[in-house]
Structures are given as structure tokens and as C-alpha cells.
Structure 1
Amino acid sequence: MMGWSCLVTGAGGFLGQRIICLLVEETELKEIRALDKAFRPRLREEFSKLQNKTKLTVLEGDILDEPFLKRACQDVLVVIHTSCIIDVFGVPHRESIMNVNVNGTQLLLEACVQDSVPVFIYPSALEVAGPNSYKEIIENAHERDCLENTWSAPYPHSKKLAEKAVLAANGRTLKNGDTFYTCALRPMYIYGEGSPFLTANINEALNNNGILSSVGKFSAVNPVYIGNMAWAHILALKALRDPKKALSVPGQFYYISDDTSHQRYDNLNYILSKEFSLRLDSRWNQGTGLVSLKLSNSVFTFSYKKAQRDLAYEPLYSWEEAKQKTVEWVGSLVDRHKETLKSKTQ
């Protein structure tokens, strides 16, 4: 694995950042290219601190810019494509979601073929599988169950189309004559330090007398910790580079969960914040948007046995470890809120 380069798109995002941290720690790389539309100054500083033996190059540009993508992919061995617009509330315009999530993915795949990048890993979404009805109970489902959403809502539809494009590209002949290998990872609801959804829920509660929105009263899900989801990408990378797994992994998708307890969405928020005196609202908030409504009120859980078998995936962090790390981070949000209130009263 010495002397090779990896491109991570969406590198400024929740998942992209953690993948880069693991790439630096777990693999011997010549260069990591971190691509996003824009990077906050603080994140640039954090990335600069990660550089040790591995060069970390920050690339700012648009995922829809073909010449930019072609330059970014030159002399790269692996692309991990996390860049997308994540939306379950129906806020961004449909055209924007479809352009970034579908067209951007297709342009990047073509850039990989033209620049002879042999490995492409795509973090897909649970919404690709559904649920199609909150009345339908899906427990410990497997990839062989062939679940597929029937929604026309832009986010799940775009992720389904993008995943299909990624898996269909597997086996293509690259410009240098080599073979293109791809796979997709479907995460459960991802939580952990830096989670945008958890941040929003906690901040909303802090501004509402410590009351957490009660969303998902009728749900049962198995969330996955961000550190374990990022780790699955490292293992997928190694598997796609392993000639012994050339017949089993390429062209496949994998559900990624861990040993986090199966529970309701609002119960997870409560467990991660109760020591700071946050509490659940007794009223039921069904959420906004069709995607949000179905996800937050469905029994929808999945097994990671296929990833365990094919990728040698085992969670890096136990539920207890993940909980402790996330609770500590929630504490920092609470402290920041207190400091803000204090400054306003001075």
C-alpha cells in the first residue's frame, strides 16, 4: 500500500473528515487529496496538523466541474466519494440535489475511467432500501432481501440512482486497460461527534428549556457510530485492492451498522444528552416531509453480517465507547451554549 494516493470528496463533511483521520492513522499513503466546495479555516488547520508521513492536499472546487475532477483524479489509486446533499426534510431544491448527488457522481466515475483510477467506494444511504411504509416491519434485514425504495422524493431517489451508477460502473475498462472496481456502503443513521442532525437536535433543546423534540416514537432503528462507518470505508478499500477478493467484493453493496442498541431516534438523543438535564417532550412531533415521516416511524433495522464476511468488518468502537465519546462531545455543545448565554448577559 506504499506510495499511492487517495482522493476523498466531501472531505469537509461529517463522514469525510473521519475517513481522512483514519486514512492518516491506518494506512501508508503518499498523498491524501481532500476535496470539497469550500473548507472552513479551522478545518484547514486541523488537516494541516494531520500531515505526518502522508501529504494532505486540500482541493476546493465544484463536483460538477469536469476539468477540475479530472485534475483531482490524476495519479490517484482510490476515490472515496462522500460528497452529496443530504436532505430528509425537503429543504433544498430538487434540481440541486439531483445535480450534485447523481450528475456529480456520474462525472466523477467518468473522470476515474479516463484517469485510470482503479478503485471507487461510495457511501450510499439507508433510504435506498426504503422504508416504503411505516406499517411494514423490517428487522435485521440482509442485502439478499433486495429492498428498494419506491419514493420520488429527491434525496432517496438521487441516492438510489447514484448507487446504481456506481455499481454499474464496476468492471469497466479503464483508459490504461485495467479494470474498474467499485462498491457501495449503506449506513444506518450515523451519530457521533460532529453529527449535523444531533447538533441541531441538541441546540434546539437548549433553546427550548432543555426539551428534546420527540421524533420517532414508533421507530426501531440500529444507528451506527461515525467512527465505525469511517472504518468500514478503510476495510472496503483494502478489500477492493485484494486480488483474493476480486470475485466477491467488487460491484456489491453492504449495510453498515454496529452494536449500538436498537432503539427509537428520540431515545438515542435522550441517552446521549440526559446527563445534561435534557428531557424528551411528551408530545409527538412526526417530523416534516415524507422521508422524515416514514423514517422516524418505522421498524427498519439491518445486519452487517455480509460486511463482516466479505470486508472483515468488525466495529472499531463498542456501543459503550461510542456513547461515551458522543456524550463528551454533547457536553461541549452544552458548555458552548452556556458561554453564549453568559456573554449576552454581560
Structure 2
Amino acid sequence: MELCGPNMSERGRSLCQVKPLPCHSAPLCRLQAGGPHIRNLSHQPWVNHPAPAIASSPTVAVRHRVSGATAPGCSDPECAASGLGEEAALARGVSTGKVLVTGGGGYFGFRLGRELASQGMSVVLLDMNKLPCDTPDGAIFYQSDIRDYSSLYKVCEGVDCIFHTASYGMSGPEQLRKEQVESVNVGGTNNVINVCKERSIPRLVYTSTINVVFAGKPIEEGDEASVLFVPPDEHIDHYSRTKAIAEQMVLSANGCSLKGGGLLRTCILRPCGIYGPEERRHLHRVMVNVERRLFSFRFGDPEARMNWVHVDNLVQAHTLAAEALALQRSCVASGQAYFINDGVSVNLFEWLTPLFLKLGYSRPLINLPVSLVYSAAILVEYLHVVLRPVIGVPLLFTRSEVRSIAVSHTFKIDKARRELGYCPKPYSLVDSVDQYLKSRQPRSRSPLFSVSWTSQLPRHLLVMLLLGLSLLLLMLSCMVSSN
């Protein structure tokens, strides 16, 4: 599951031609799981597609400023060479302590920018959508698209660290918009890397996702060394595939030469689902489906567990990651990937119990076969796309979401603790539920489908009809194909 910004607009803007820059004698990163390198990116379909909107993701704060002196114990040749470039930059009077947050108008990106500004940093927030609140003191907001290279280049003047949290297509109907997902997640990331090289920005922290290593098979307490990287072409959803491609791009850019001297240092954070105060993506969608009585069943392994991360813990992780790319920390995070979560694993339905109780409903008691729910997800995805101009078909689960819920996939954070000094604080979903219920708008009375006849049917019956219809259609298609 990922962390992305809230509502996306679909206003089209021309997508700039991406011009990859040379990486002069720079070593490729040490890929954590041995995934294949990117090939033929220039032929990817996102290059000339119309641009949608930006989403968003995480947070951070940088407590240490980069000095011109080489950090004690910085024996890494890449780190030492980069230090010379930073000394030269300081000699030219280039400002430090200025950061850019892509996706700064989304839930996580905005909290990131607000935290950075409170730390005394000079912050640039960039997003396709307007900010949800007033611009924080110490921050500047630009409403623009990361796929517009010229605009991105302009706002990056004087920036010494980019937090690339913008993405699209993490959950719900967005997952089905292939061209938009590719143009933002791959094309936008390519622009961010190129502007780092051109603007001599030495640090790039990229917010990836656990989806890049999860393909529907159980993972118990996986770590960065043991969990295999899933090749992009083996993912069943566009979001996971494009995030996998983007992650490899960012890791491969580690060690590339900067135009003004020095080397680009990059690192990857792989968070799970985000929760916290004012979070609207996951909590709101689940809550609406609970009230519609669509969340009246469960499926998969009843003992399946997963991780979640509180927004403030993710802020801490990004803060530490940015510091660990600097000379003072001997570039320890350079070219590395880290799993980030609260340090505990939970069963989804048990974890959501406070939400059910607050809304006056009992936890799901009906157990359905995973194959049936997965088949229904395939059908509903198809109906959602085909019938979208005529009827609003609700998307309870996508295929990738069914897989995420059905099996355990948990990850250790030992590496982040050891190398970054990450120490997550304990939080509870109950607090977030209470805050959400106090702040949300009055419950909408809109029907489940945008046609009148469905209002005469019980909600749970509609769900069962969809499940049954999906299974029937799949059986018929198998019979036809076998003949």
C-alpha cells in the first residue's frame, strides 16, 4: 500500500521531453535485491503522454547543515569526491539548507514541508494541487507539475536536497489509469534526477513503497538483504510496476557526477500504509465502505499480518535519511534502501476494530474464498473502466489490494535503526479515528451506484451479486477458452 497525496486533478498539461543526462564515470548503486537495471527508458509510453496531477507521500527534516569540510571517517571515495564539490559550491556562494518537497500539497508532503519549516529550513513545496492549508511560515509553494522540466528547474535554484514524495495511482480507481501513473511516477522521477544533476543538488531522498518487493506471496519479517526485488514486468498493477522502475532509476543515479562538481547521493525509503491525524486516503475510503455495509466480509489468511507507519514516524525516517546522505554521517545511506514502519505487525481486521466500533458496526464475520474476492475485483475493475462514462461502479478492492490483505507481508526495520538511527514512537489508530470523526463532513447520503434501481437493494446483497456475477463470468470464459 502507499502513501500518496489525496485527490488528484486530471487537468492536462504538455509533458516536457525528458533528456537524460550523462553520468560521467559514476558507479551504479549497489542494488539491494539484485533487480534488473532499467532498459530502454526512452521508449517507455510515458514520454509523450498528457500530464495528470501529482500525488504525494512522506516527510522529513534536516538538522545538520552540510559543511565544506570532509567528515571525520569519510573514507568512501564517492563521499570524499562529493565533499570537494560541496566545498566548491560553498565557495561560489550557493546557499545550503534549502529543500524541495515534490508532492508538497498532499497529506504527507505538506506535513513534511511544515516540519522542515519549523526546523528553520528554507522550504519549497511543489504540487499540481493547491495546498490544503495556508503555506507554512518559512515555506514557498509553487503549483506546478514535476513533468514540466523547465518549471522544476526554475524552482530548484539554491536547493541542496530534494525529497521526492510525489506519485500517482497508489490505491482505488487511480490504479487503473495507466498513462497517468506512468507519466508521473516514471517520467516525473526522471525529471527530478536530471534536475539534481543540472542544478548540482547533492542529495535526493526518494519515497518508494514495500510494493516493489511484494508480489502476493507471504513475506515474514523480510529485510533489505533477503527479500527479492520483483521485476517491473511481474507486477499486476501499474503503481507497483512504475514505482519499481523509478526506484531503480534513483538507485542507479547514486554516484553520478553533478554539473557543478561533486556526486549525487541518493537513498530509498520503503514505507507501508500511512495513517495519522487528518489522513484521508486510507481511513476515509475504509470508513465510507463500512457505512455502506460493503466491508461486511473478510477473506484470506485469518492470521495475516502487515505493517503500518504513523505519519510522524515517517517524518522522522526521512529526516534521518537526509542527514545520512550528508558528509557528517559519512554518506552512510548513499545508494541504500530501507523498510520503514512502526516496528509492529498487525492483522488488518483487528487493527480496524476501533473504526468499526466507533461507527457502531461489528467486525466482518463472513469469510469468503480469496479466489472469489479476487475474481470479483477483476470484474469490478473492468466494469469500472468500461462503464465509467455511464455509471459509477464502486471500487471496493482492486486486485493488488486483495493480494495485500489476503497474505502476511511484514518487514524488519533493523537496518533503518542501525544505519539511520530510526526509532519509531508508539501510536494508536484510535486517536486518528477520533480526530477524523470530529473533523469530517456530515455523512453523505449518495447512493452506492449512480442509478436509481440500486437504492432498492440492500448493500450487502449488491456485494454478493457482484461476487457471484464475477465468478459466473470467469467460469464461462474458462469454458469458452477450453473449447
* TM tier, smaller: 0.7 to 0.9
In structure 2, the residue matched to 1:258 is 342
Q: Which residue identity does 1:318 align to in structure 2?
A: P
Deviations 1:116-165 (A, max 9, x none): 111100110111011343xxx31111100142223142111100000000
For the pair shown, the structure with the greater C-alpha radius of gyration is: 2
Deviations 1:52-77 (A, max 9, x none): xxx21001111110101101211101
Counterparts of 2:343 and 2:203, CA distance in 1 = 28
Counterparts of 2:318 and 2:271, CA distance in 1 = 11
Counterparts of 1:284 and 1:16, CA distance in 2 = 37
Aligned length: 319
From the two aligned structures, give the one with the greater helix fraction: 1
Q: Calculate the TM-score normalised by the size of structure 2.
A: 0.62
Distance 1:116 1:327, change over 3 A: same
Q: Quick check: 80-89 or 156-165, which moved more?
A: 80-89
In structure 1, the residue matched to 2:330 is 245
Correspondence 1:12 to 2:97:
no
In structure 2, the residue matched to 1:139 is 220
Counterparts of 2:186 and 2:269, CA distance in 1 = 16
Counterparts of 2:343 and 2:354, CA distance in 1 = 15
- 1:223: Cα distance to partner? 1.3
Distance 1:284 1:148, change over 3 A: farther
Contact map agreement 2:185 2:246 (CA 8 A) in 1: yes
- 1:229: Cα distance to partner? 1.3
Deviations 1:172-202 (A, max 9, x none): 1111111111001001222222140111111
- Identity within the alignment, %: 25
Counterparts of 2:256 and 2:221, CA distance in 1 = 33
In structure 2, the residue matched to 1:308 is 417
In structure 1, the residue matched to 2:406 is 297
Counterparts of 1:156 and 1:304, CA distance in 2 = 21
Counterparts of 1:99 and 1:183, CA distance in 2 = 22
Deviations 1:84-137 (A, max 9, x none): 10334464421111110011101111011100111100110111011343xxx3
State the SS of the aligned residue for 1:32: strand
State the SS of the aligned residue for 1:296: helix
1:171-320 aligned at under 5 Å gives the runs 171-193=255-277, 194-208=279-293, 212-214=295-297, 217-218=300-301, 219-246=304-331, 248-260=332-344, 262-284=345-367, 286=373, 288-315=397-424, 317-319=425-427
Q: Which residue identity does 1:120 align to in structure 2?
A: L
Q: Calculate the TM-score normalised by the size of structure 1.
A: 0.85
State the SS of the aligned residue for 1:87: coil
Counterparts of 1:172 and 1:229, CA distance in 2 = 27
Runs of 5+ in structure 2 lacking a partner?
A: 1-63, 66-95, 378-396, 446-483
Correspondence 1:39 to 2:130:
yes
In structure 2, the residue matched to 1:151 is 235
State the SS of the aligned residue for 1:280: coil
State the SS of the aligned residue for 1:79: strand
Counterparts of 1:235 and 1:199, CA distance in 2 = 30
Q: Which residue identity does 1:37 align to in structure 2?
A: M
Contact map agreement 1:270 1:278 (CA 8 A) in 2: no
Contact map agreement 1:192 1:226 (CA 8 A) in 2: yes
Distance 1:213 1:95, change over 3 A: farther
Counterparts of 2:327 and 2:291, CA distance in 1 = 48
Deviations 1:25-72 (A, max 9, x none): 3x331x1001000215xx242x3xx31xxx210011111101011012
Q: Which residue identity does 1:71 align to in structure 2?
A: K
Counterparts of 2:299 and 2:99, CA distance in 1 = 38
- 1:212: Cα distance to partner? 3.9
Q: Quick check: 271-280 or 305-314, which moved more?
A: 271-280
Distance 1:5 1:273, change over 3 A: farther
Q: Which residue identity does 1:191 align to in structure 2?
A: Y
Contact map agreement 1:215 1:296 (CA 8 A) in 2: no
The CA RMSD over aligned residues, in Å, is 2.2
